[in-house]
A and B are shown apart, each in its own frame.
Chain A
Amino acid sequence: MADWKLLKKLSEARGISGQEGEVRDLILEEIRPYAESVELSPLGSIIARRKGKRRAPKTLMISAHMDEVGMTVTQITEEGLLKFATVGGIDRRILPGKSVTVGNGVHGVVGVKPIHLLKKGEAEKSVPVEELYLDIGARSREQAEEAVLPGDAVTFDSVFQAENGTVMGRALDDRAGCAVLIGMMKTEPEYDTVFAFVVQEEVGLNGAKTAAFAVRPDAAIVVEATTAADVPGVDREKQVCRLGGGPVISFMDRRTVYDREYYRLAFRAAEEAGVKCQAKQAVAGGNDAGAIHVSRGGVRTIAVSLPCRYLHSAVGVIAQEDFLAAPKLIARLAEMIEEESESNNKC
């Protein structure tokens, strides 16, 4: 059975891009007993080396990102309300009426004009971000300033539940990926492996770019969460991937054309590991692979993602079986990547 308690802790930890400290501390505590070495990059990513049964012919880096989408306070108004900017590609339609936590644990809500007072045409339209603000209950600018400052992080308050074959929670993009990596570090891999927990994916892949430079890998597996559009109102051919269909393997997205051979290997790995997997049936989105595969002289890279509904909102949904299948698939894929290079060396 999976460690839902750990995933819950990871999901509830607050860490918008650039302010991943709480998530990082949690991960460090979990992985230290299993890591041969742990270093922190100058931007705050964790680079952890895990000893395997054998020395790896190739340096393989498996990465997941620690940050989540959210908001940051930009300004405090005369009335004590907070203006904000979004951090990462938040879906603005989900903002009005949400509960949030600001800075050091201050409760707030995203305010919106009451439905009774809307003008004709307003009730059917999502609220433009520039009209939204956060209300922390302050009666004045002075009172607000005692509690928060511009630059403070704003995260959604959310729910966590692992029941009925699914997991619902906040920031499963990409804390679910972090949980997969942590789980993998707790069992001895076949080959020495580098695990990277990187910062700032949601604002431009900055953590992955710099971690890849530091690690200098020959190959990389990016463990992510990707949009599952298997919801009412979306035609089957537009659903990208589906919950319960297994981890998602990408051939191409907006950032990366993936290594063709690794793409094939991933499907074989799933078969050999006895788990389902599915192709990402759209050229959409992007992830840390975009920065990793062009690091230094180039890195052969593949992404294995968990299908996740409502990706950049306050609560996502993943399937437990996909989550449980991912480490099995990735472990086998890692071995195959190493063995591929071993056999290549023999030629």
Chain B
Amino acid sequence: MYQKLTEMLFRLCGAAGTPGDEEAVRAAAEREFAPYAETGTDALGNLTAKMGDPGAKEHILVEAHLDQIGLIVTQVDENGFLRVDRCGGVDRRVMPGTAVTVFGEKPLCGVVCCTPPHLTGGKEEEVPEVAEMAVDIGCNAETAKKLVQPGDRITFRTEPKKLLGTRISSPGLDNRASVAVMVRCAQMLAGEKLNCRVTFLCSTREEVGGQGAVTGAYLADPTRAVSVDVGFGRQPGVKPEQSGELGGGPMIGFAPVLDRSMSERLVRIAEREKIPFRRDVMGGDTGTNSDAIAVTRAGVPTALISVAERYMHTPAEVADLRDMEETAKLIAAYLREAV
């Protein structure tokens, strides 16, 4: 099941892209969109892919962020260890003893240092801040300083893999899962005549504030927008009311900043097309780029669709391919009837 989608998703997950350094993943995403849409980039490194009728009045922006969380090298110390800080909201609890890739002179294998348990002075419970951590690349200081510079980026070194059934796991599924949804959507619409103009926006720097979406939405100047991101999947310790079951279909967002009529329209389309879905209700901010896109220029009616994901911001993110496929179907159906 979903063999082609899996391969495409794993290609996207296999390309690194931490905030402000999305070049590799942008190139990977561009290769996926190129057969179906006209691609371009801008000052902050966003990728755009345009489809549909260029003269249409309705211009719909479909957005997903391109970047992933990681670390940034702040210093190479006198013993060749790399001192680091967060580049996006890394969960410090998953860092100790974790294998990483350091994008220095060439990609290097590293491991996040971990003090032996008997030397923690009874503080085994406490996980230090990321800024207190170090990465061991197994080099002496001289070699390390040649290979790595402050500002170089680091990502988790974990291969994307298939779990049982239709579930998959990879670091960076937040938000490559949604980028894959947009690619899949472009594939579904390829060759069809649309009555609207569509801009797919793969935005940069979401994990450090969403600057790419702010400028990208401004440049696109759309009439409406649909933002796609990962949402909290049901798992132990997470309340049912704030999460969606994996495999339960797209999570259609309802929040003050989102356009209620668009959300309801997505619900009606899902019902008609027999796409399983869930209403994902938030009382305040959505915590996604839709918050910023909705207030672009004079305002853009915006919807949010989320793909349920477990273990967000760890090397162990898990999602369900079925949710990605169904989300792509829902967005494609919406774009088909947009006039």
Instruction: Identify the A interface with B (CB < 8 A).
Output: 79, 81, 91, 93-94, 96-99, 106-117, 123-127, 131, 133, 135-139, 143-144, 147, 157-159, 161, 163-168, 227, 229-234, 238, 240, 284, 309-311, 313-315, 317
Chain A contacts for B318, CB-based, 8 A:
109, 111, 135, 137
Q: A97-B311, A113-B237, A232-B79 are in contact. Are A313 and B164 (CB under 8 A)?
A: no
Interface size on B, residues (CB 8 A): 64
Could you write out 8 A-B pairs with CB less than 8 Å apart?
A98-B94, A109-B316, A112-B93, A124-B92, A125-B127, A137-B167, A159-B157, A167-B138
Q: In the complex, are the beta carbons of B143 and A147 less than 8 A apart?
A: no
Q: In whole angstroms, what is the CA distance A277 to B111 when docked? A: 25
Q: In the complex, are the beta carbons of A93 and B127 less than 8 A apart?
A: yes
Chain B contacts for A165, CB-based, 8 A:
138-140, 143
Chain B contacts for A123, CB-based, 8 A:
91-93
Q: In whole angstroms, what is the CA distance A233 to B96 when docked? A: 14
Contact for B164 among A97, A137, A159, CB less than 8 A:
A137
Query: Which among A107, A135, A284, A314 has the greatest number of chain B C-beta atoms within 10 A?
Result: A135
Q: In the complex, are the beta carbons of B116 and A229 less than 8 A apart?
A: yes
User: Besides A123-B91, A164-B138, 6 other CB < 8 A contacts?
Assistant: A114-B91, A114-B313, A117-B238, A131-B236, A161-B109, A233-B132
Contact for A98 among B132, B139, B163, B316, CB less than 8 A:
B316
The smallest C-beta distance from B298 to any residue of chain A, in angstroms, reads 31
Q: A93-B97, A97-B98, A139-B165 are in contact. Are A284 and B134 (CB under 8 A)?
A: no
Chain B contacts for A99, CB-based, 8 A:
158-159, 161, 169, 315-316
Query: Which among B98, B116, B139, B161 has the greatest number of chain A C-beta atoms within 10 A?
Result: B116
Chain A contacts for B137, CB-based, 8 A:
164
Main SS of chain B's interface residues? loop
Q: In whole angstroms, what is the CA distance A161 to B109 when docked? A: 7
List residues 190-240 of chain B with CB under 8 A from any CB of chain A: 232, 235-238
Residue B3 at the chain A interface, CB threshold 8 Å: no
User: Which of chain A's residues has its CB closest to B80's CB?
Assistant: A164
The smallest C-beta distance from B255 to any residue of chain A, in angstroms, reads 15
Q: In the complex, are the beta carbons of B247 and A139 less than 8 A apart?
A: yes
Contact for A115 among B98, B113, B158, B312, CB less than 8 A:
B312
Q: In the complex, are the beta carbons of B99 and A314 less than 8 A apart?
A: yes
Q: A113-B235, A165-B138 are in contact. Are A136 and B164 (CB under 8 A)?
A: yes
Q: In the complex, are the beta carbons of B91 and A313 less than 8 A apart?
A: no
Q: In the complex, are the beta carbons of B316 and A112 less than 8 A apart?
A: yes
Q: In the complex, are the beta carbons of B136 and A231 less than 8 A apart?
A: yes
Q: In the complex, are the beta carbons of B136 and A138 less than 8 A apart?
A: no
Q: In the complex, are the beta carbons of B139 and A127 less than 8 A apart?
A: no
Chain B contacts for A234, CB-based, 8 A:
115-116, 119
Q: In whole angstroms, what is the CA distance A166 to B139 when docked? A: 7
Chain A contacts for B164, CB-based, 8 A:
106, 136-138, 143-144, 147
Contact for B97 among A91, A106, A107, A115, CB less than 8 A:
A91
Chain A contacts for B26, CB-based, 8 A:
none
Contact for A311 among B116, B140, B169, B316, CB less than 8 A:
B116
Q: In whole angstroms, what is the CA distance A232 to B114 when docked? A: 9
Contact for B113 among A91, A135, A139, A310, CB less than 8 A:
A310
Q: In whole angstroms, what is the CA distance A232 to B82 when docked? A: 10
Chain B contacts for A229, CB-based, 8 A:
115-116, 119
Q: A107-B162, A163-B138 are in contact. Are A114 and B115 (CB under 8 A)?
A: no
Q: In the complex, are the beta carbons of A317 and B111 less than 8 A apart?
A: yes
Q: In the complex, are the beta carbons of B126 and A107 less than 8 A apart?
A: no
Q: Mark B307-339, 1 if CB is under 8 A from A, else 0.
A: 000111111101000000000000000000000
* 3 nearest A-B residue pairs (beta carbon): A137-B163, A97-B94, A137-B167
